[in-house]
A = this chain, B = another copy of it.
């Protein structure tokens, strides 16, 4: 990516900012677009250390104009909270649907040669009908966020098929690591757990028998970069995942072990969350492995250690 012009939408957020750090390191010319949505993961602290080596813009209406010079757009802008999407479905659609059309229209009109890698989600599958879930699993989202992210993924596919735009989508599962939002559970329960472990509050495990897979953020970042460099990914969607899935109750124990502190209580699911919960999930990422040569390299235990280390000395910026 040395010398490449890349734009990261949502570049102040969790994965976007980690991607920015990596791309700066690789010598790319990085511009970040982020609307710092109050329910999103964006924070200027996420680009501490590279702030003078990237340019930053608010999204829209500059998006169409910002895109023309770029070689790659890493398209990570969007909302990801399932509960917020049920509470504020219009806001979710504005950010996950309308903003995506604007980006794609800008790209096809002003920079049709650009490569776009979109951050989609395992949420598009809904409750898995089988494990592990591959990309041909039926799509049946269980919340507004899942529907809207699917809609945006479909736009990306369509703009490839109709206009030849070089788009692809990565369907992320639970991603963990430095720079995630941990002040609440809007980017997933694991952020909430980590904060509580570090502040000495017990965290809650709902159910506990559900199985989940966790991708360390550096591995997710690597997948975005590999997808951007691969022609074969045009028009495709890929699961990310992990070598091993874990029961949530195992993750809770592991987190406290690794932290050397923390406690948790096991509870049954709150009603409003149960109805949009997907149960167990474990991705089959063999397609990403074959096409992109992608492999997750950081095991959960190490991922938790690295994540805790990051927040231990920066907790005031994230709580």
Contacts and interface: CB of A to CB of B under 8 A. Distances in A.
Interface of A: 86, 89-90, 93-94, 97-98, 101-102, 105, 139, 141-144, 147-148, 150-151, 154-155, 158, 161-162, 275-276
A116 to B, nearest CB: 16
Contact of A147 (B86, B139, B143, B151): B151
A164 to B, nearest CB: 10
Nearest to A100: B93
Contacts of A141: 154, 158
A276 B161 CA distance: 9
Contacts of A276: 162
A93 B101 CA distance: 9
A121 B113 CA distance: 33
A77 B147 CA distance: 20
B86 A101 contact: no
A108 to B, nearest CB: 10
Given A93-B98, A139-B139, A150-B154, 12 more contacts: A89-B101, A90-B101, A97-B97, A97-B98, A98-B98, A141-B154, A142-B162, A143-B162, A144-B155, A144-B158, A147-B151, A148-B151
Contacts of A102: 90
Contacts of A143: 158, 162
A147 B161 CA distance: 13
Contacts of A161: 142, 275
Given A86-B162, A158-B142, A151 B97 contact: yes
A6 to B, nearest CB: 25
B155 A147 contact: yes
A102 B93 CA distance: 11
A139 B98 CA distance: 21
Given A90-B102, A101-B90, A105-B90, A147 B154 contact: yes
A141 to B, nearest CB: 7
B86 A90 contact: no
Contacts of A89: 101, 105, 155
A164 B148 CA distance: 20
A25 to B, nearest CB: 36
B105 A97 contact: no
Contacts of A105: 89-90
Contacts of A142: 158, 161-162
A115 to B, nearest CB: 21
A98 B275 CA distance: 23
A79 B101 CA distance: 17
A170 to B, nearest CB: 19
Contacts of A98: 90, 93-94, 97-98
The 10 lowest CB-CB distance pairs between A and B, nearest first, are A151-B151, A147-B154, A89-B101, A162-B275, A90-B101, A97-B97, A93-B101, A93-B98, A93-B97, A147-B151
A70 to B, nearest CB: 21
10 contacts: A89-B155, A90-B98, A90-B102, A90-B105, A93-B101, A94-B98, A97-B97, A97-B151, A142-B162, A147-B151
